Structure 1
C-alpha cells in the first residue's frame, strides 16, 4: 500500500518506482522484475532481447524528427541490496517493501529501499510510457547482479548495443554530474580451524554487536563508520583477563556493505558474567568517543545459547583468528591529490567474517581508480592471508571508469543541469563500482555520463531518497534526450 502523501509528480517515474518496490528483486533473482519490464515493452509493441546472462535491452524507436540521431543507451541495474534490521520480519524473496515518508525523504520500514538503482530503472520505464518525452533511438539496458560484483555488465553480450552515447542513472547526488568511477577487486578466503571440547563448567553466550549504521563500502568509506567485524574482534582480543572459547562468529553480509552487525557465541564462566558486562560497557563508551554520530545507536545484546555446539575453536587457532582479523586492513587507504578529501582513491572493506563448525570464511574487497595503485594493498592482503594459511580466490575484478573532463556528453549534461538548478554543477568521480567502466571496456566508442537524484544510506536499512530531487533529475533526463538530436 502506498503511504499517505506518496509523490505523484512526475507521475510516470513515481508510479513505476512504486511498482518496483512491490516486486522482490534480490541479486540473482531478477526474473520477476525483468518479466515486469518485458510485459511493459510488449504492451507498447517494443522489441527486446535478453542475453545468456539475463541482461535485458528494450529498443525504443526515435521520436518524430529524431530518426537520424545517434542511438542513446540508458543503463540501470535491476537488483537491489537486501539488508534489514534484526527486529524487522521481512523476506526479500517474497515480500513487498513497506514505504514511508519522513521529513521529505522516502524510505522503507527498517529495510533497504532499492532506490539504488530502482529510481533509475523507473526513469527508463517512464521514457516508455511518458508521451511528452522526445528522444533519439534508445536502447534501454537493464543489467543483473550489479550488487554482487557487476556480474551482468561483465557478462553482457555487447552485440545487443549499437549506442555511441550512454546515460547511466545510478549515482546518488543531485546537482552533481559523474564522469568516473572506481574499479574493484575482491577476495574470498577460507581455512579450517582446529576444534576441541569446551571446558567443563562453562556455558554458551552470544555477544551481539548491533546499531552501527553500516552502508556503502564505496561512497561512504571515508565517513569512518564502525565496522562490526573489526570492533567485535577488537573487543575479544582485549579480554586478556577473562577466559573464553569461541564457538562461532558471524559478521557482515556482502562484499560491498560495511558490516553493521556481528555476533559471536563463546563459552564462558557464569561467575565472570558481571565482568563481561562491564567490559562490554567499557568498549561501547570507548567506541562512542571516536565513532561518527551516525553510529551513536551502537549497542550490545548478551544472551545465553542453549543449543550451541559442544566443540570450540582451539586456543591456538583462536589466537590466529584474532590476529588475522586485527591485521587485515579496512577503510580509506589513500585520497585523491587533486579533489576534496572525500574522494578516496584506494580503499578496502573487510566485509564478511564467519566461523561455523570449525570453518573460517572471509570476504574482503578493495576499490580503486588507478589499478597500478592497488599492487601494494593486494600484496599486503595476500601476504596476511598466506601467513595465516587461508586459501583465497578472486571474486571481483572489474575496471574503473577513468574521468574524461573533455567528454561532450558530460559537458552537455553539466550545462543542462545548471539551467535547472540555477547554480554551478560539479563534475565528479565516485568511489563506487558503477557499471560504466565495464561497459566502456566492451564498447570503447561510447561517450558516457552518470546522474541521479539524492540517495543516502544506500546498502543499509537507513537508505532513503530525497523526494524533492526526483523531479529535477527526471527533467534533466528528458532535456538530455531532447538535446541529443
Structure 2
C-alpha cells in the first residue's frame, strides 16, 4: 500500500509510478507491466504495436491545433534491476515493492525501487492520460531487457517509429541535459578445475562479505566503491594451505558487486588466526574505501565441505581475481573530472563444484580507446586458460553540442527556472546510442529527475525534483 506521505503532484505521474511498483518487472519478464500499458492505451483508443523482441509503441495523436508539429518519440525501458539485501524476503517475480518516504526521498524497503526507469515510464504514460498536457504527435516507446544487455533496443523493429525528435527520460540528475552516452560490451569466461577430497585435519568455513554500497557500474564507477569480488579475493590471500570450495558473488553485468559468499578450507594451525586475519583486512579497507562502504562486514562460520580445489589452483584463482581489471580506466579531457571515458566492471564470479564462471563488462565513448583494455583482458584469459564468450556490444552516442533540440531544451529550462541547465554526457549505456543508429538523423535529448543508488537496495528518488522535471517535459513538448 502507499505510504501515508506518498507524493501527490503531478497526480497522473505519481499514480502510474505507484502502479509500476505493484507490478513485478525483472528483465525479460516485462509482460505484465507491458499489458498494463496496453490496457491504458486501448481504453484511450490509441493504437499500439509490438515487435518480436517485445518492445511496445503507443501512438498518441497530437493535441488539437498541434497536428502539424514534428512527431516526438518518448523513450523509456520497462525492466528494472532486482537487487535486495540478504535480510529481507522479497520475490521480484511476484511481490510488489514496499515503498517508504524518508527525508524527501522515495525508496523501497531494502530493495531496488525501479525509479530507473519506471519514473520515466510513468511520465510517458502521464502525457497520454493527463488532459491538461499540450503536445505534438507522440510515439511512446517502451523497450524491454535494457538492464541485462540492452536487448530490446538492439532488436527493435525501427519501422514502428516515424518521429524526427526523441526524448529519453532515463538519466538521474535533475537540471542536467544529456547529449551523449557510453557504448559498451563484455565477456563471459569459464573453465573447469579439478576438486580433491579434503583431509581430516582441514577446517572448513563459510565467509560472508556484506555491507558494501554497490551501485551502477556506469554512473558510479568513478566513486571507487568497493567490489566484493576484489575484496574477498584480497582477504583470502596470504592464508597458507587455503583451498577454495565455492564462491558466489555478483548479480548482473552492470552492478558493482556488493556482497558475496565463499566457502574454503585451511589447515587447523591457520584456522586459529583466521578471525584476526580477516579483521585486519577489514580495517585496511576502511582506510581507503568511500564512506558509503564503511558498513562492510565479514561474517565467518564453520561448515562441512567434502572436496575443494587444491592449494595451487586456489592460489591461481586468487591471482586471477587480483589481476583482473576493475574500475575507471580513463577520464575525459574535456568534461568535468567525474566523466569517465573508459571503465570496466568485474561483475560476477561463481565457483561451484570446480566450474568457474566470470562475467565482466566495459564502457567507452570512443571504441578505439577501449582496444588496449580489450587486449589486456583477453591476454589474461589466455594466461589463465579461460574459455571466452563475447557479449554483443552496442554503440555509444557521440555528443552533439550543436543540436537544435538541445538549444530548444536549454531555452525552455532558462525560461522556467531562470538558469541554463548543465549539458553533459553520461558514462552509461543509455539506449539512445543504439536507437540513433537505427533511426538516422533523429535529434535526441535525455533528462530525468534525481535518482541515487540505482542498481542497489539504496536506490531512491528525490521527490522535489519530479515536479520540475514534469514541468520541463510538458513545456518542452508544448514548445515543439
Counterparts of 1:68-467 in structure 2, within 5 Å, are 68-239=68-239, 242-269=240-267, 272-306=270-304, 308=305, 310-467=306-463
CA distance, structure 2, for counterparts of residue 157 and residue 326 of structure 1: 42
Specify the alignment match of 1:42 in structure 2. Answer: 42
8 Å contact kept, 2:20–2:118: yes
Q: Does 1:482 align with 2:478?
A: yes
Q: What is the number of residues matched between the two proteins?
A: 480
In 2, Cα distance between the equivalents of 1:207 and 1:114?
30
* Partner SS state of residue 97, structure 1: coil
Task: Measure the CA separation in 1 of the matches of 2:210 and 2:421.
Answer: 38
The one-character-per-residue Cα deviations of 1:435-475 (angstroms, maximum 9, x if unpaired) are 00000000112000000000000000000000000000011
Whether the aligned pair in 1 keeps the contact of 2:241 and 2:311 (CA below 8 Å) is no
Return the offset for 1:395: 1.7
Deviations 1:69-106 (A, max 9, x none): 11110000000000000101100000000000111000
CA distance in 1, matches of 2:459, 2:175: 19
Q: Given that residues 185 and 396 in structure 1 are in contact (C-alpha distance below 8 angstroms), is that contact kept between their aligned partners in structure 2?
A: yes
Counterpart-to-counterpart distance in 2, 1:4 and 1:87: 25
Question: 1:269 Cα shift?
Answer: 4.3
2:313 is paired with a residue whose SS is helix
The 2-side partners of 1:394 and 1:288 are apart by: 35
RMSD, matched Cα: 1.0
Residues 339-360 of structure 1, C-alpha deviations (whole Å, 9 max, x = no match): 1110000000000011011100
The CA deviation string for residues 361-395 of structure 1, in whole angstroms up to 9 with x for no partner, is 00011000001101100000000011111111112
3-state SS in 2 of match to 1:320? helix
3-state SS in 2 of match to 1:481: helix
Native 8 Å contact 2:242 2:311 kept in 1: no
Return the alpha-carbon distance in structure 1 between the equivalents of residues 264 and 358 of structure 2: 19
Q: Is the 8 A contact 1:193 1:314 kept in 2?
A: no
Q: Flag structure 2 segments of 5+ consecutive residues without an equivalent.
A: none
2: distance between equivalents of 1:270 and 1:471? 62
Return the alpha-carbon distance in structure 1 between the equivalents of residues 190 and 329 of structure 2: 24
Task: Tell me the distance in 2 between the aligned counterparts of 1:132 and 1:223.
Answer: 41
Using the size of structure 2 for normalisation, the TM-score is 0.99
Q: Secondary structure at the match of 1:134?
A: coil
CA contact (8 A) 1:347 1:367 kept: yes
- Does 409-418 or 458-467 show the bigger shift? 409-418
Q: CA deviation at 1:419?
A: 2.4
Contact 2:416 2:472 (C-alpha < 8 Å) held by counterparts? yes
CA distance in 2, matches of 1:325, 1:383: 14
Take 1:331 and 1:205, find their aligned partners in 2: how far apart are those partners? 30
Instruction: Give the unaligned 5+ runs of structure 1.
Output: none
Which secondary structure state, in structure 2, belongs to the residue aligned with residue 238 of structure 1?
coil
| Cα distance between partner residues in 2 of 1:360 and 1:340 | 39
Partners of 2:299 and 2:44 lie apart in 1 by: 54
Q: 2:3·2:101 contact (CA, 8 Å) conserved in 1?
A: yes
Q: Does the CA contact (< 8 Å) of 2:213 and 2:292 recur in 1?
A: yes
Q: 1:317 offset after TM fit, Å?
A: 1.6
Q: How far did 1:11 drift? A: 0.3
Could you tell me how far apart the structure 2 residues matched to 1:313 and 1:30 are? Answer: 40
Rounded to whole Å, the distance in 1 between the matches of 2:217 and 2:81 is 12
Which secondary structure does the structure 1 equivalent of 2:237 belong to? helix
- The separation in 2 between residues aligned to 1:271 and 1:322, in whole angstroms, is 21
Partner Cα distance (2:70, 2:182) in 1: 28
Deviation at 1:25, TM superposition (A): 0.2
Does the aligned pair in 2 maintain the 1:75–1:140 contact within 8 Å? yes
Residue 54 of structure 2: aligned partner: 54
For residues 329 and 397 of structure 2, the distance between their equivalents in structure 1, rounded to whole angstroms, comes to 19
